[in-house]
Amino acid sequence: MYRIAIVDDDYMVRESTKAVIERNFKEENFQVECFSTFSQLQSELSQELFTVYILDIELPDGNGLELAKEIRKIQERAYIVFLTAYEKYALSGYEVRAFHYIIKENMEKKLVQTMRQICREIGIHVKGQYLVKRAGVFEKVALREICYIYKEQKNSIFVTLQGKKANRESLKEVAGKLPKEQFVMAERGYIVNLLHVERLEKGMLTMDNGDLIKVGRGHNREIMQKMSEYMERGWR
């Protein structure tokens, strides 16, 4: 489940923002939590993190920009969206790599567009699961959470957002069960999920968890084509 934090000192703004998300993204099953102050969210961050932060800039006990800086210290890849009544702060959002800056007046359309874009980026619409099998244990793993898979002797290792999971199937068996438009062979011993590929450069894939995977000579062109097709599908 993906968590969203809304921080605004205006109760009506908090509730209307939450309602827009829940009304337009029912299937995504977001968990939305509201906070009225800088310190409330700051306290929560010591316990739990969020995927998306929707922040007002002028708060009673601090500044939304400063709050965003605190978030960035612990979450490089979080999505920060500023929702404010003032355009004058727009340029300041670049300092914290804000994903979007939305003016509160007539904000619903822009907020929905922004959230849809975030959904595409995090792959929330990638459906399906894989049944990982090991020593009498069966575990369902969401396809969108698989970063890549590699061969280990006769077995395969799934590298996921939650860590590594051993699977008692060969890489060839696994490849035959995965959607071809989503998962591609990088080299003989690696299958990568295009959702988690950050960059392809000089025969090397950079995954969004920082791992580097070498691309076999015979797979480079195919991966470039599949990445292009994947991006086109994702941004329609």
Give the per-residue pLDDT at 28.
79
Q: What is the mean pLDDT of residues 155-183?
A: 92
Shared domain for 15 and 97, answered yes or no, is yes
Residue at a domain's end among 122, 144, 175: 122
Q: Within 13 A of 72's CA, how many CA atoms are on the CB side? A: 15
pLDDT digits (tens, 9 = 90+) for 176-203: 999 888 899 998 899 999 989 888 888 8
Q: What is the mean pLDDT of the chain?
A: 87
Runs of H (alpha helix) within the chain: 11-24, 38-45, 64-74, 108-122, 171-177, 220-234
Q: Which residues contact 42 (CB under 8 A, 6 or more apart)?
A: 67, 70
Give the per-residue pLDDT at 126.
65
CATH code at position 203? 2.40.50.1020
How many angstroms separate the CA atoms of 174 and 110, rounded? 40
Q: Within 13 A of 80's CA, how many CA atoms are on the CB side? A: 25
pLDDT digits (tens, 9 = 90+) for 17-60: 999 999 999 877 789 999 999 999 998 888 878 989 999 998 99
Shared domain for 78 and 180, answered yes or no, is no
Strand partners of residue 141: 130
Q: How confident is the model at residue 221 (pLDDT cuts 50, 70, 90)?
A: confident
Residue at a domain's end among 56, 90, 122: 122
How many domains does the chain contain in total?
2
Shared domain for 211 and 148, answered yes or no, is yes
Strand partners of residue 83: 102
Residue at a domain's end among 122, 157, 178: 122
Shared domain for 140 and 91, answered yes or no, is no
Give the per-residue pLDDT at 236.
34
pLDDT-wise least confident of 87-91, 138-142, 143-147, 220-224: 87-91
CATH code at position 64? 3.40.50.2300
Domain that holds residue 33: 3-122
Q: Report angle CA 159, 178, 50 to the nearest 5 degrees.
A: 45
Give the per-residue pLDDT at 235.
40
Shared domain for 115 and 10, answered yes or no, is yes
